[in-house]
């Protein structure tokens, strides 16, 4: 929840993507979604929403339907970001329903999964992440992941300055990919699994060098165009 009309325009105009050979996706606050879609038109940039409601329409004041996001020209939507889970009580089942809603509307869901510090300290990290993933797989089926992205974001490494080491991140990414492979090997090979947790210009290359890390879900560093472009180039 950052930005003004002026700063959003500045960030969009600063996306000089010459020399970047990676897919770039930006996910602005809902208030600026339409403006960003229009501002980056013609650039090699995809745009998505940060959140959607499960229903296509109805008496849900303050909410945004996936169909509305699609109508504005966006292509993606975040589902289950750790802040939505931690601050707004979103459940695994609710996230699964949002993935289904995104797919219904023709959006690509970026499903976020991750464990808290307490869960990691208890040795429960992989079980928690797989449980979050299974909630989606059980509702929409493995084939739905052909049109989805998974983002692993350890809650303890978001906005804290702490980052999972490349090895730590790779272990979890490999576990996610292996779990998907149990249901469909081709999908596990093709799906993009992003790392999100204090990704910065100075650690992006080491993270992206890991075999199962396919990109980054960038938080605070995306508010600085120069740093964000360095991360894009690292990808």
The torsion defined by the Cα of 223, 226, 228 and 229, in degrees rounded to 10, comes to 150
Out of 76, 97, 153, 173, the active site residue is 153
Query: Distance between terminal CA atoms of the chain?
Result: 25
Contact 82, 95 (CB under 8 A): no
Query: Which residue, among 226, 229, 197, 224, has the nearest Cα to 213 in the 3D structure?
Result: 197
**Cα gap 90→80, rounded to integer Å:** 7
d(Cα 219, Cα 200) in Å, to the nearest integer?
9
Q: Look at strands 193-195 and 76-79 and give their pairing.
A: unpaired
> Which residue in 92, 184, 158, 163 sits closest to 129, CA to CA?
92
Q: Which two tokens stand for residue 198?
A: 């204090």
Q: Which of 81, 90, 115, 119 is catalytic?
A: 81
Distance CA 94, CA 151 (A): 17
Catalytic annotation present for 81: yes
Cα gap 223→6, rounded to integer Å: 13
Give yes or no: 153 in active site. Answer: yes
Residues assigned a catalytic role: 81, 153
């Amino acid at each position: 929840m950052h930005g003004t009309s002026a700063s959003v325009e500045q960030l969009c105009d600063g996306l000089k993507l010459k020399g970047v050979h990676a897919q770039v996706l930006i996910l602005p606050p809902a208030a600026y979604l339409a403006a960003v879609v229009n501002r980056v038109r013609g650039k090699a940039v995809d745009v998505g929403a940060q959140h959607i409601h499960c229903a296509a329409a109805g008496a849900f004041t303050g909410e945004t339907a996936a169909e509305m996001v699609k109508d504005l020209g966006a292509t993606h939507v975040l589902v289950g970001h750790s802040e939505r889970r931690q601050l707004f009580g979103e459940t695994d089942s609710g996230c699964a329903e949002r993935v289904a809603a995104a797919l219904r509307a023709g959006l690509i869901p970026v499903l976020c999964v991750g464990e808290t510090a307490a869960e990691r300290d208890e040795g429960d990290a992989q079980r928690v992440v797989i449980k979050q993933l299974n909630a989606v797989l059980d509702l929409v089926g493995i084939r739905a992941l052909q049109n989805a992205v998974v983002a692993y974001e350890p809650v303890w490494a978001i906005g804290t300055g702490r980052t999972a080491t490349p090895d730590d991140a790779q272990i979890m990414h490999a576990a996610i990919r292996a779990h998907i492979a149990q249901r469909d090997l081709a999908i596990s090979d093709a799906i993009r699994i992003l790392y999100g947790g204090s990704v910065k210009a100075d650690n992006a290359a080491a993270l992206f060098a890991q075999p199962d890390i396919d990109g980054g879900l960038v938080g605070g560093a995306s508010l600085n165009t120069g740093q964000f472009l360095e991360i894009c180039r690292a990808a």
